[in-house]
């Protein structure tokens, strides 16, 4: 028996990076886990891969219905699906703003709305949102991404207030630079990806990137019964960047 035995979870963006690491850790601790993603075929067993596009309300509702029916109940929601964007307010056109906010912000709202009825039935209900230090760090060339994650942090606090009396806890983690397929994809565009990776690593206060497993451990802590008195919290997993007031790398 472990802390998560008998509990179930939905993890969005659970086919890759932080979402997959979180789903794996929840499963290793005894939870049964459904990963909602554009690429469910990439989700390894025993995790349950279900196709969902968080920008499509019908797709989200159908996927959540399948997950809850298959798992039999829902205790934990990890809103993790997200995409990046580079640029300033001048360089990102309107359709790019709509595209990114639709995934990172409205997508989170759609999934949460679809999950709340089942979460209300759980005595251990918890939502954890994957936010980012970009929410408050003032990163250059990240206006749109920062705005989207600022909204995720605000939503975390608003949702925590709205649902505290129902026994649903809502928290978020704010990762720094995490070594995931997303970051590797960005680096692969450089002339020398290995040199770029080494430079990125050297710019971290800790001398290394955060690992997806470290972010997963923070998410799983906030999701579990041992964090029963924690709601409306923002947990940085960023190699000290926020707490030490370091310049963004």
Chain contacts with ligand NAD (rule: CB under 6 A): 12-13, 15-19, 37-39, 52-55, 80-83, 103, 107, 130, 132, 175, 177-178, 180-183
Residue 10: CB minimum distance to ligand NAD, A: 12
**Cβ at position 23, least distance to ligand NAD in Å:** 11
Q: Given the complex with ligand NAD, which of 59 and 122 has the nearer CB atom?
A: 59
Query: Which neighbouring-strand residues pair with 128?
Result: 78, 171
Q: Are strands 32-37 and 210-211 parallel, antiparallel or unpaired?
A: unpaired
Q: Which is nearer to ligand NAD, 167 or 181 (CB)?
A: 181
Closer of 181 and 248 to ligand NAD (Cβ): 181
Q: Rg for the chain (alpha carbons), in Å?
A: 17
Sign of CA dihedral 190, 145, 198, 246: positive
Q: In angstroms, rounded to a whole number, what is the distance separating the alpha carbons of residues 25 and 85?
A: 28
Residues in CB range of 7: below 8 A, 6 or more apart:
30, 31, 32, 75, 76, 122, 124
* Least separation in angstroms between CB 58 and ligand NAD: 13
Is residue 145 annotated as a catalytic residue, yes or no?
Answer: yes
| CB closer to ligand NAD, 2 vs 206 | 206
Catalytic residue among 32, 82, 145, 231: 145
If one counts every other C-beta atom within 10 angstroms of the C-beta of residue 150, the result is 16
Quote the least distance from Cβ 107 to ligand NAD, whole Å: 6
Q: How far apart are CA 60 and CA 65, in angstroms?
A: 8
d(CA 107, CA 129): 12
CB of 32 to ligand NAD, least distance (A): 20
Which residues does 241 contact at the CB level (< 8 Å), separation at least 6? 133, 137, 176, 204, 205, 248, 249
Task: Please identify, using beta-carbon distances, which residue of 120 and 185 lies nearer to ligand NAD.
Answer: 185
**Cα→Cα distances 53→88, 111, 242, Å:** 27, 10, 32
Residues with a known catalytic role: 145
């Amino acid at each position: 028996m472990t802390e998560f035995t008998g509990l179930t979870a939905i993890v969005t963006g659970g086919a890759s990076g932080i979402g997959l690491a979180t789903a794996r850790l929840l499963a290793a601790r005894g939870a049964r886990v459904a990963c909602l993603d554009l690429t469910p075929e990439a989700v390894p067993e025993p995790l349950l891969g279900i196709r969902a596009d968080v920008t499509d309300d019908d797709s989200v509702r159908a996927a959540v219905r399948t997950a809850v029916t298959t798992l039999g109940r829902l205790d934990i929601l990890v809103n993790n699906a997200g995409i990046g964007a580079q640029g300033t307010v001048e360089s990102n056109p309107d359709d790019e703003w709509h595209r990114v906010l639709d995934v990172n912000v409205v997508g989170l709202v759609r999934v949460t709305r679809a999950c709340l009825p089942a979460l209300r039935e759980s005595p251990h209900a918890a939502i954890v949102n994957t936010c980012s230090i970009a929410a408050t760090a003032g990163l250059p060339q990240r206006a749109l991404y920062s705005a989207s994650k600022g909204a995720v942090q605000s939503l975390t606090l608003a949702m925590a207030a709205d649902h505290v009396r129902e026994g649903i806890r809502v928290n978020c983690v704010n990762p720094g630079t995490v070594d995931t397929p997303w970051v590797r994809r960005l680096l692969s565009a450089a002339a020398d990806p290995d040199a770029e990776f080494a430079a990125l690593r050297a710019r971290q206060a800790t001398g290394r990137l955060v690992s997806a497993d470290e972010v997963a451990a923070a998410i799983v802590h906030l999701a579990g019964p041992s964090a029963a008195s924690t709601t409306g919290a923002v947990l940085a997993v960023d190699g000290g960047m926020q707490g030490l007031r370091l310049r963004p790398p």
